[in-house]
Amino acid sequence: MRETPRSQETAGDSMAWPPQPRPGRALAHTTGASCSGSPLRSDGRPPQTPRGARQTGPHGRPGTTPPVPGRPTSFFRSAFFLRPSFFRPLGGPAVVAAVCAALFALITWQVVDHGPLRALDEHVDRAVVGDGPAGLTEFLADLGNLQVALPVLASAVGLALYRRRRVPAAAVVVAMALVPALVVPLKALTDRPGPLTPETGYFPSGHAATAMVAYAGAALLVGRWLMPVAVLLTVATGIGLVLRGHHWPLDVLGSWSLCGVLLAGVVLVSSRGRRRSSAGTPSRRTGPS
């Protein structure tokens, strides 16, 4: 079979260097731009984003354009630190106060009327009273003493006044003053005997109420990042009171629901005072008038 004769010119002889564009072809990716001889694309844009102009990610790494949004705040962090955005779906302090008031009314009714919740409460108390190390449970119960809780609250109030947060400090002081004003008459009205004594006047628990308002109020004044510590101290006080036989479980739960109303009022008053102060502050104008 006869081969087709090859051209006398070799590939190296026939190809000019650098290769020239053929007439009529697009110059989008050749050494030219919208016009021949320019190192840009046919649409006038550079062939790629310069490295120095690229946006970085959240941790300084090369990112995309536009920049990658930051990591969203997790539900755990919002709940753990009690951020205002976490409580927004609940309806605000007024709704929380209404729920706590309804819960306190239910518990009080069951205690006075010897309802099924009181029977369950007494059964649980008899099963757990005396459990745990006596020294530890007594220490936890003493967290609700005035000699322990009031100095903590007084220090927080002093810090709030130093920071010129007069409205929240006054609201917490009023809430603390309302604890004995509400608890003492309720003890006389309900006339409930104690777990280990026939003496009456155990509902609601004054120690549990003092601990909750003092520690949670201090956290509201100093910083909400302290709220988990306040919750831990409040719960520990209630556990100590029940295990030592100083109070029934419903005595503690009733105090917590009552103090929930007081603390919700503190948050409501503080937020309104903050809005009034911000509304009264003249806004700063930037730029030429």
DSSP reduced 3-state for 113: coil
C-alpha 67/C-alpha 63 separation (Å) is 6
* DSSP secondary structure of 208-250: HHHHHHHHHHHHHHH-GGGHHHHHHHHHHHHHHHHHTTSS-HH
Contacts of 209 (CB under 8 A, 6+ apart): 179, 183, 255, 256, 258, 259
One-letter-per-residue 3-state SS of 174-188: HHHHHHHHHHHHHHH
Is-contact 31 17, C-beta < 8 A? no
Is-contact 205 255, C-beta < 8 A? yes
Reading the chain (289 residues) residue by residue, the pLDDT tens digits are 445 555 444 444 445 555 555 555 544 444 444 444 445 455 555 555 555 555 555 545 555 445 445 444 444 344 333 444 444 555 688 999 999 999 999 999 999 999 999 999 999 999 999 999 999 999 999 999 999 999 999 999 999 999 999 999 999 999 999 999 999 999 999 999 999 989 999 999 999 999 999 999 999 999 989 999 999 999 999 999 999 999 999 999 999 999 999 999 999 998 886 776 666 555 444 444 3
* DSSP secondary structure of 188-205: HHH-PBPSS-S-B--SS-
Look at the block and give the residue holding tokens 């205690």: 111
Q: Which two tokens stand for residue 146?
A: 């005035």
Is-contact 103 257, C-beta < 8 A? yes
CB environment 240-257: b (16+ within 10 A), e (fewer):
bbbbbbbbbbbbbbbbbb
Is-contact 243 222, C-beta < 8 A? no
Cis upstream peptide for 18 (omega within 30°): yes
